[in-house]
Structures are given as structure tokens and as C-alpha cells.
Structure 1
């Protein structure tokens, strides 16, 4: 019976990711502390959140070391859902603005 060798990754990679997650969290809190408002605040918070999620998925869930087929199978469906949500949001805005224009005449 053949032995399956477990793949060991250097501890330094995990420590660097922990440090990057800490720095991104500090930036996320600084956005609120500095007092950014409106769309800039939400854009920055969302950006830092997505960067942290990407680091966690890539390193701690070992996606960076997986085959392309597995990566596509996991990442493409949420991407398609995000595109469909964007299209629905655009359609909702169009419907809202056309109704407001019609009713305010």
C-alpha cells in the first residue's frame, strides 16, 4: 500500500497572512475612526472585507495550492450570482426611476 504524503507548507506563510489580516482589520477600523462618510466609507469597508476573505480562502482553505478545476468550481458560481445581483439592482433602479418620473408628472 502506497503512502500518501501530506503536503506541509512553511509556517512563515501563515504568519504573513495573519499579519496581513491584522493590518487589513486595522485599516477597516480606521475607516470608521477617521470619519469617512457615504459611498467612500462603504466602498473601503467592503474592499477590506473582500481582501480579508480572499486571503482566508486562498491560504487557510488551501485554494492557492488546488487545481484550476476545483478553484473554478468553487469561485465561478458565486461570481455568477454577483453578476446576476448587479443586473437585478440595475433593473430595480430603472423601474424605480421610471415610476417616480411617471407619478411625479
Structure 2
């Protein structure tokens, strides 16, 4: 089961905070080791990245994002059995006219 209550909050034109709640312990396959955040962009100068956290993390902040670029953000739990399910979401555009605090999904 993926993390729940995933939220994206645009802090400014080039920074984005991603927060979530861990999946319930009875829905985790193995021992929770942390989370994997996958970031992809449509901008040619931006490489895809993966950020790994420890099991206590409930948020990460991305800095130096490119204004007006589109980013797809996914979060999954990591256990000793491997990486859990991701949920693909709509791309996020880092636009001054679209400052947001967006709730993405609940499971």
C-alpha cells in the first residue's frame, strides 16, 4: 500500500514541498525502511531523480526547480522486501500564476 494523504505545496516559483503519511503498519509488506520519491520533468535540462528517506520522514522539499517546467512526483514506501506501489499523478507546473497547496490522493 502506498503512502496516504500525499500533498504538494508550492513554496515559491522554484521550490516544492512534498508531504505524506506512512501506510498503516498492517498494510506494509516487511519492515518499513523509508520512502522513495521519484521526480520526472518534461524539461530537457532536468534529469529524472530519486530521493530516498528514512522511515521517520514525512516530507521533503525540492529546491532549484525550473519555473514553468512540468514535474511528475511519485512517492512509495521502501521496506526490506523492496519498493511498494507508486501512484502516478498529474504533472505539476511550477508557474507563478499557479501557486498551490494541492492534495493529491488518499488511500
TM-score of the aligned structures, taking structure 1 as reference length: 0.21
Structure with the bigger percentage of helix = 1
Structure with the bigger percentage of strand = 2
Higher Cα Rg: structure 1 or 2?
A: 1
